[in-house]
């Protein structure tokens, strides 16, 4: 990340956030390396590769805006505090902390740790 500089890292993260908030799976996939992984422990299922990630239940579903992000850092890595629109409550509720790993200007890994009171599958169905 140092070689990219703070401004370039912020741009990459902003593109990722914008794509997710628009539910634009194609734009998300473009930001990933070919061998990128996407996981959400403690779920045992994880995804490797752009196609598998694009087809996963971890991708945004429904009409935007369903997700919102705030950019903290976690242990010196890029991270996004994710909130999802709860349909009945009509407000955004905490969903997960997504930690991003970069390789050059592409995202190589996303590890999402679910908020203890969230059910990612119920607020982020597949499209």
What are the structural domains of the chain? 6-116 (3.10.450.50)
CA–CA dist 56, 121 (Å, integer): 11
Q: Cα(23)–Cα(69) distance, rounded to whole angstroms?
A: 13
How far are the Cα atoms of 46, 47, 124 from residue 67, in angstroms, in the given order?
20, 20, 8
Average pLDDT over residues 72-97: 81
pLDDT value at position 124?
Answer: 44
Helix, strand and coil percent figures for the chain, each rounded to 5: 25, 40, 35
Cis check for the bond before 65: say yes or no (omega within 30 of 0).
yes
Q: Summarize the confidence of residues 85-110 as an average pLDDT.
A: 89
- pLDDT at 121 exceeding the cut of 50: no
CB atoms within 10 A of CB 83: 20
Tell me whether the omega of the peptide bond preceding residue 117 falls within 30 degrees of 0, making it cis.
no
pLDDT score at 106: 96
């Amino acid at each position: 990340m140092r070689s990219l500089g703070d401004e370039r890292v912020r741009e990459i993260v902003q593109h990722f956030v914008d794509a997710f908030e628009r539910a634009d799976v194609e734009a998300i996939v473009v930001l990933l390396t070919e061998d990128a992984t996407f996981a959400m422990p403690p779920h045992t299922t994880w995804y490797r590769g752009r196609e598998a990630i694009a087809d996963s239940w971890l991708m945004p579903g429904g009409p935007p805006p369903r997700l919102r992000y705030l950019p903290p850092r976690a242990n010196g890595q890029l991270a996004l505090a994710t909130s999802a629109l709860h349909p009945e409550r009509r407000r955004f509720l905490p969903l997960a902390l997504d930690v991003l790993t970069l390789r050059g200007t592409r995202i190589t890994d996303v590890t999402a740790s679910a908020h203890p009171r969230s059910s990612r599958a119920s607020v982020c169905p597949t499209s």
